[in-house]
Amino acid sequence: MKKNVVAPSVGESITEVSILKWAKQNGEAVKNGDLLLEIESDKATVEIVAESNGVLQILKQEGDRIPIGEIIATIDDSATASATPPAPPGAKPPAPPAPPSAKAPTPPAPPSAPSMAPPPVPGASAPTPPPMPTASAPVAAAAHTTDGPTLSPAVRRAAVQHSVDASQIHGTGKDGRVTKGDVLQAASAPAASAPSAAPRPAAAPVAAPKVDQPGDRRVPMSMLRQKIAERLVHAQKTAAILTTFNEVDMTAVMKMRSEHKEAFKAKHGVNLSFMSFFAKATIAALKEIPEVNASIDGKDTVYHDYYDIGIAVGTDRGLVVPVVRGADQMTFADIEKKIGELALKGRNGKLSMADLSGGTFTISNGGTYGSLMSTPILNPPQSGILGMHKIMDRPMAVNGKVEIRPMMYLALSYDHRLIDGKGAVTFLVTLKDHLENPEKLGFNY
């Protein structure tokens, strides 16, 4: 009995998925619980496992887009796996090998047309056969369809090749005969010599099709990449995005981290990174400026009195933003563990819809890639996103003296429809104050 494997529903707004990778081969025996394939939606990657024992028959291939509920494979519990798995549907069967000593047969000559001539008379010489028709015969026939003087073969061919009516040409040859030169001249005559016609409206210019150049490599975009592109363009078109900058002296945070990181890891089993400090400082700034933690819904402003912080994670398939929910209720260790868990799931393509849904504010750390300054783009419907950057030693004026300090540029991109410049600047000043005085963050472990 065959049991169907169908594309599952992976979210309310998702109508189709893409097959990312098959873990089993066509015709392979599978067991209940075996991983069959991974599918990708525009938000996450989902694994599909076998729900029965049997032989797998693949109906859809990697890269295919499948509507939710459509059959992508079957599992036949009455079949036996073959030594050579059958080719999946749509694949061309291999050509059978030729016998070792077989030679390609010579095609027989076409049968001769039955002769209409009378049988030869004994002793008489064989009659001369009529000439075989040549390729020029149809040309001559076409040329004779027009009235007028007799045309030479060369003139007839020229007339047909250039689509010229020889009967309408005034010949310049002897006795008014049309020459090949007359035909060529008629063919090259400007269209103005023809009867005037009503002017035709100019056609709209048509863009030339894109032609790949040598060295180009065309690869279809994944559904995740297409969704990222769609959301970024949507954010640029619908929000009044503005970015403001500040800088923070990381001396105090680096000192606190250095003093406690070994004991912190020994107790909690995770590293003490800068991200937990920034998450805590961000929450303090969001509480100070609540509109940065709000969103626009039509003509309403929706204020969020909770703090679900999205943490941007770079993966091989694109940028994803899993959410740390209730971050204001978490300790430093809780935040570090959750960020580590989500980052690992993101890199392995195991993030669920629940991991990616919601979020009231986002933090993006371009500093991990060496970025010194950037303008991050909003993650709709959120109204703000914080960009962290690389820590650089720079000369700074401190109490009237020049000192080398570890400095980081901060960038806040925000929706100017909801957040004024004063609120954006105050948010960054509050963030800076808590990072330069980390004792305000209530660090404990």
91-114 pLDDT, tens digit per residue, is: 544 554 544 444 444 444 444 444
What topology is assigned to 2-76 in CATH?
A: OB fold (Dihydrolipoamide Acetyltransferase, E2P) (2.40.50)
* pLDDT tens digits, one per residue of 368-379: 899 999 999 999
* Homologous superfamily in CATH for domain 224-441: Chloramphenicol acetyltransferase-like domain (3.30.559.10)
**Where do the structural domains in the chain lie, given as residue ranges?**
2-76, 224-441
Predicted confidence at residue 102, as pLDDT, reads 44
pLDDT surpasses 50 at 182: yes
The reply to whether 420 belongs to the active site is yes
45 Cβ contact partners less than 8 Å away, ≥ 6 residues apart: 20, 38, 39, 224, 317, 349, 350, 351
Burial 89-109 (b: 16+ CB within 10 A, else e): eeeeeeeeeeeeeeeeeeeee
Predicted confidence at residue 132, as pLDDT, reads 47
Quote the pTM value.
0.60
Residue whose structure tokens are 């189709």 = 16
Q: What is the DSSP letter of 174?
A: G
Helices (H), 239-394: 251-268, 274-288, 332-347, 353-356
pLDDT surpasses 50 at 133: no
**pLDDT band, residue 191 (cuts 50/70/90):** very low
Mean pLDDT comparison of 50-59, 147-156, 183-192, highest-scoring range = 50-59
* Closest C-alpha among 60, 65, 67, 110 to residue 88: 60
Predicted confidence at residue 83, as pLDDT, reads 47
Predicted confidence at residue 204, as pLDDT, reads 60
Give the CA dihedral 303, 306, 308, 309, nearest 10 degrees: 80
pLDDT surpasses 80 at 384: yes
Among 111-125, 159-173, 348-362, 425-439, name the one with the lowest average pLDDT. 111-125
Please give the Cα distance from 280 to 329 (Å, whole number). Answer: 10
More confident residue, 90 or 415: 415
pLDDT surpasses 80 at 87: no
- 196-212 average pLDDT score: 61
Predicted confidence at residue 203, as pLDDT, reads 59
Mean pLDDT comparison of 8-12, 129-133, 432-436, highest-scoring range = 432-436
DSSP string, 211-280: -PPTT----PPPHHHHHHHHHHHHHHHHS-EEEEEEEEE-HHHHHHHHHHHHHHHHHHSS---HHHHHHH
* pLDDT tens digits, one per residue of 397-413: 999 999 999 999 999 99
- 356-362 average pLDDT score: 92
- 330-356 average pLDDT score: 89
The reply to whether 416 belongs to the active site is yes
pLDDT surpasses 50 at 123: no
- 288-306 average pLDDT score: 96
Q: Which of 34, 304, 416, 433 is catalytic?
A: 416
Please give the Cα distance from 267 to 254 (Å, whole number). Answer: 20
Predicted confidence at residue 194, as pLDDT, reads 43
Q: Which of 64, 76, 328, 420 is catalytic?
A: 420
351 Cβ contact partners less than 8 Å away, ≥ 6 residues apart: 44, 45, 320, 322, 342, 345
Predicted confidence at residue 348, as pLDDT, reads 81
